[in-house]
Amino acid sequence: MNEVLQRRLAERSAQSRYRSRRLLESAQGPRLQVAGCDLLQFCSNDYLGLANHPKLIAAMQDTAAQFGVGGGASHLVCGHSVHHHYLEERLAKITGRDRALLFSTGYMANLGTVTAILGKGDHILEDRLNHASLLDAGLLSGARFQRFQHNDMADLERRLQKLPAEGNRLIVVDAVFSMDGDMAPLDELAALASKYGAWLMADDAHGFGVLGEHGAGSAELFGLDQAQLPVLMGTLGKGLGSFGAFVAGSEELIETLIQFARPYIYTTAMPPAVAAATVAGLDLLAEEAWRRRHLQELIGYFRKRAAELKLPVMDSVTAIQPLLIGDEQRAMALSAALEQRGILVSAIRPPTVPVGSSRLRITLSAGHSEADVDQLLVALVEALDV
């Protein structure tokens, strides 16, 4: 076995696609300690800078002192605490949905949801650039699986028109695409779903907490209610700085997931202390709205300065600001050159992104300052000139 696996590993290394882990020696924040070095980082999804917020830490510590560390069992056995339940109620309220259901990860939420509501004889249509968890969920559902061109409503409509009358229809998209940073046109997607009798599901992992007047995410930004966007998934480890995920929707949807979503049924509940910390994160969405405003200002500042410097930044108005490089080796070399200059930015390569579109995935946070962005831009110009 090891000889077979070694050949596969050698092949990946030869393609400049070998992945390795960094060993962090500090809490999440604008600056990280990595291998004894202090680095200004632009690669975390902690968009609002809440992962190390004192209120989240205090909520977790206080709850752990009372409820312990582990969840103990699945939600359906004896693991569903009052903290989990209250968090679900808060998530339902902020998203304007009947109910919400907690999952341990976004991957599990997507896998559990799609496979619980679709099966053989049904149809699923996904954006070509959807997250791997959504693509895997579509394949595992047993439904007929199609991928339409990225954000191409004409291509999607042509595919909808050709579907047979039999079977349920589900359109699935990332609300904010994790590697490109652009957004799905949820209003247009909702209109098409209504026109062709399809259900719409949005993965708002990179929008929840960050977008919308109150931080409720892409659904709030586009003004879509539960009828227009019946399946809404969000994660808690990005904008909220905590851990886990949720699905929000109708009473019938949530009860269906409780009964049929295998990743929910057969997984130990998240620690109650994590749920309590997440509630503290929800409180901060209202108490510290300046974080969302500051982040939007930083995005505008970065894009303005990058345009002036003629940097190959992709078209995005979110906190994800990819710098298109193309070649895998070149992307890796640029990431290394930035690290030598005290900047941590990850190189993203195939198979995560299409061949020929390797990039530096720059992410901005409310914890950054304009001076931090200036330091990044100077380092980028120097590295690109090397």
71-123 pLDDT, tens per residue?
Answer: 999 999 999 999 999 999 999 999 999 999 999 999 999 999 999 999 999 99
Q: Helices in 171-289 by DSSP H: which ranges?
A: 186-195, 218-222, 251-260, 262-265, 272-287
Q: What is the pTM of this model?
A: 0.95
CB 114 within 8 A of CB 124: yes
Tens-digit pLDDT profile for residues 365-385: 999 999 999 999 999 999 998
Scanning the structure block, which residue is given the tokens 């800078």? 49
H-run or E-run covering 30: none
What is the Cα–Cα distance from 259 to 270, expressed in whole angstroms?
A: 19
Q: Do domains 17-46+289-385 and 54-287 have the same CATH topology?
A: no
Tens-digit pLDDT profile for residues 193-215: 999 999 999 999 999 999 999 99
Q: Is-cis flag, bond preceding 271, omega within 30?
A: no
CB 210 within 8 A of CB 295: yes
pLDDT of 386 above 80? no
Q: Coil, strand or helix: which one is 136? A: helix
First to last CA, the chain: 42
| CATH T-level topology, domain 17-46+289-385 | Aspartate Aminotransferase, domain 1 (3.90.1150)
Categorize the per-residue pLDDT at 131 as very low, low, confident or very high, splitting at 50, 70 and 90.
very high
What is the Cα–Cα distance from 255 to 75, expressed in whole angstroms?
A: 13
Tens-digit pLDDT profile for residues 285-325: 999 999 999 999 999 999 999 999 999 999 999 999 999 99
In DSSP notation, 88-110 reads: HHHHHHHHT-SEEEEESSHHHHH
Residues labelled catalytic:
178, 206, 238
Categorize the per-residue pLDDT at 226 as very low, low, confident or very high, splitting at 50, 70 and 90.
very high
Categorize the per-residue pLDDT at 38 as very low, low, confident or very high, splitting at 50, 70 and 90.
very high
How far is residue 319 from each of residues 15, 124, 182, 192, measured CA to CA in Å? 29, 29, 10, 28
CATH number for the region 54-287 comes to 3.40.640.10
Compute the CA torsion angle 31, 34, 36, 38 (nearest 10 deg). Answer: -20
pLDDT score recorded for residue 35: 87
Domain boundaries of the chain, sorted by first residue: 17-46+289-385, 54-287
CB 181 within 8 A of CB 136: no
